[in-house]
Amino acid sequence: MKKVLATVQIFSLAFFFAFFFVGSSVSAAETRFARISDGTIVSTTTERVDFAHRTSTSFNVNPVLPVYQSDLGCGITAGGVIISWYQREFLQLLPGNTPGSFFLGNWRWTNQNIHHNNMFNQLSPLMGAVNGYVTINGYLGGMNSFVSSRGRTFTSTSLRNANGTLNFPATQAALRNGQLVTIFVSGYSLAHINGPQNHSNFDIITVDNRAGYHAMAVFGYQVVRYYNSSMVMFRQDIYLRVHSGHRTLNSLILRHFTGFYSAFVTHVS
């Protein structure tokens, strides 16, 4: 049984999509994905899901993405964060920048600095940004131009099924293989950073529903399955962990995939 609770404001979010995926029929090459200032919150909702049994499977790339940010646009932020993540392996991507270091066994990213800001500034014209907006083709072409100019290879593989839905198994495989993903959405919902809040026999799921076209870097996923007392699964929720592209709300989870537009494995080698 589901119970809808009072709307509450949330601060740390995540991007979730439910048991189904709904695609868009609009040409991906023609649409421009938005500036950081877009993504207006249309509504905030809280849902309760009661269950007898619950399982959760999750995976994040290691390390998770740095929280670098550019006000030049969401595509520029997503691409720059992905390039910065791969710089751990390929230092020539950002000459002169030290990507980070280990502290007490954990990786810590270098604070955002002039090297990252210069990278964002270079990505903007390479992606053909217009007032902070980029097309998917512009994003992919700009990433290829930047990476190849540093002597590395950029590859992109579509994760959009023929019916316009997300190929989630291929998304899982890419992430587990150490390959980051860029997702493009048209209207999207961001849930609490830890996903559903587990309270023994029920979950609380709070989401901000946002308007507009948006691009985000994906670094992980979570699959939550709910069962009744007869151990019959009645609901499956799938979450993608993303760098949201919204300042102060960086590492989040994407929710309710009615706004799926397109996605690509975006890999540097």
* Residue pair 57/223 in contact by the 8 Å Cβ criterion: yes
Q: What pTM did the predictor assign?
A: 0.83
More confident residue, 166 or 17: 166
For residue 251, is it left (φ>0), alpha (ψ between -120 and 50) or beta? beta
Contacts of 27 (CB under 8 A, 6+ apart): none
The ranges assigned to domains in the chain are 2-78+155-268
Per-residue pLDDT tens over the stretch 71-103: 898 999 999 999 999 999 999 999 999 999 998
pLDDT score of 10: 26
Fill in the DSSP letter of residue 151.
T
Residue 172 parent element (H or E): helix 168-176
Grade residue 249 by pLDDT with cuts at 50, 70 and 90.
Answer: low
Per-residue pLDDT tens over the stretch 1-12: 333 333 222 223
